[in-house]
Amino acid sequence: MMKGALFDMDGTLVDNTPAHMRSFELFCNRYGVRDWREKLSSAFGMGNEDIMRLIMPEEVLREKGFQALAEEKEAIYREIYAPEIEPVAGLVRLLERLREAGIRCAVGSSGCKANVDFVLEKCGIGEFFDTRISGDMVSRCKPDPEIYLAAAAALGLHPDECIVFEDAPAGIESARRAGAGRIVALATTLGIDDLNAVPGFDLAAPDYRWLLGEKVFANLING
């Protein structure tokens, strides 16, 4: 039986890709960056430093620095997303079911701490998570396994005792490399057809409601 559940955040706790895309558009327009959309398509699930390195001109990176640029972009995101934020369908009930089953939960996100705290607070789900690992707490973000290794360790568990919930190829690879016991992929960011082309996960679902049936849930936690 699984003992822990490790949740990615973006696209997994909240279906926030449209909000991030709007914030990237506003942010990049400030710096005259026009080709960001094509470059960003390969960066879902990565940390802000890797994303900034991918989309921003070298001269802007030298002048502003990675941290300042990341903070500027994420402040835009939180401002525009706050009025509409809500958890992915079925998430709250799944978290309740996991707690009833004695399974402890952690967040393992490449996002910054401010964004993790923002999502958990605004969605009213902070009480369900025993620990929060964010991208600014590790030296290497996804697809490196460090985030999920740290999240499992913070729960006092080995990764093979944990279910990981993910939505992006970088995160699925991170969970696989960490040795997760089971990987559930949500078809929020990519859609089910594109998601099925990604290797490394055990089960795909459109949202959490599909996982709440007695038989499916029992199979999920029993490994």
For residue 87, give the nearest of 112, 119, 118 by alpha carbon.
119
Paired strand residues for 108: 133
Q: How many CB atoms are closer than 10 A to CB 28?
A: 19
The per-residue pLDDT for 184 is 97
Among this protein's residues, is 50 annotated catalytic?
no
Q: What is the pLDDT of residues 181-217, one digit of tens each?
A: 999 999 998 888 888 899 999 999 999 999 999 999 9
pTM: 0.90
Reduced 3-state DSSP string for 195-212: HCCCCCCCEEECCHHHHC
Orientation of helix 17-30 relative to helix 66-81, angle to 10°? 130
Among this protein's residues, is 8 annotated catalytic?
yes
| Tokens (6 digits) for 64 | 């502003």
Q: What are phi and psi of 56, to 5 degrees?
A: -100, 145
Q: What is the pLDDT of residues 136-170, one digit of tens each?
A: 999 999 999 999 999 999 999 999 999 999 999 99
For residue 88, give the nearest of 189, 221, 198, 199 by alpha carbon.
189
